[in-house]
Amino acid sequence: MARRLEGRVAIVTGASSGMGKVTAFQLAREGASVVLAARREEEGQAAAQEIRDQGGIAKFIRTDVSKWDDVSAMVDFAVSEFGGLHCAFNNAGISARGTDDWLALSESQWDQMIDINLKGVWMCIRLQAPAMIEGGGGSIVNNSSVIGRRGTGSAPYTASKHGVIGLGKSAAVQFAKNKIRVNTVAPGFIMTPIVEARLADNPAAAEMAGKAIPLKHIGESESIAETVTWLLSDDCPYITGECITVDGGLLAQLLPPPPTEG
């Protein structure tokens, strides 16, 4: 069976753990040469080495997506090491934790969230696009959240995730003439290391989350990786400017089911 990304070069940001790491492994299995980018160097280097140990092609570069020079260096690294750039999963982001109280929210908290979750995605697209244009086109997937389709108490997180969806639509229109497709994924509850650690401290919350999801379980990062791989591949050449929600049906219901007795 032919591998869907054979001979292509891909960047994955936030690739040291969670959805980013799992997606990097999936892209490598599909034949891509993968640049793993993240702030945590030890974990990122280890992930790249693990891909190589499994027969894949991968290298790591330390990257803070809130810094223009870092993002520029990341793209240059992909081109210099692997000869071009064809795919990108702009996944890096920070969580809403500690930003739910509007009256306690500081300007620095707002700026950090927007700089990483929204401005970082914009800079990635802005600097990835010229390299893809040089190579005749490509495909970009950005990571938002179900919060990008609804809302939560965290003003900066909600704003940033809505913004990512809007950025994807704008970029899709802008770069269609250059044969670059741009789409977004909006994950629901996904069992990343951060979520797993939080739920371990609160088993009741894990049970409630499972009951609230129509498919009755919290998702795995592999579901995101498969969706991203599909969007990056030639399997969907006419899809651009879209946001695909991967949430087990969470947003399809008007209200969560009522609690059961016992």
Of 47, 53, 3, which Cα lies nearest the Cα of 21?
47
Question: Strand order in 138-143's β-sheet?
Answer: 57-62, 33-38, 9-13, 87-90, 138-143, 180-187, 243-246
What is the DSSP code (8-state) at residue 117? I
**H or E stretch covering 115:** none
Coil/strand/helix, residue 181: strand
Instruction: Give the total residue count for the chain.
Output: 262
Q: Is 157 a catalytic residue?
A: yes
What gap in Å lies between CA 251 and CA 162, rounded to an integer? 15
CA distance 253 to 212: 10
Catalytic residue among 157, 186, 224, 225: 157
- The residue behind tokens 């995605």 is 121
List, by residue number, the catalytic residues. Answer: 157
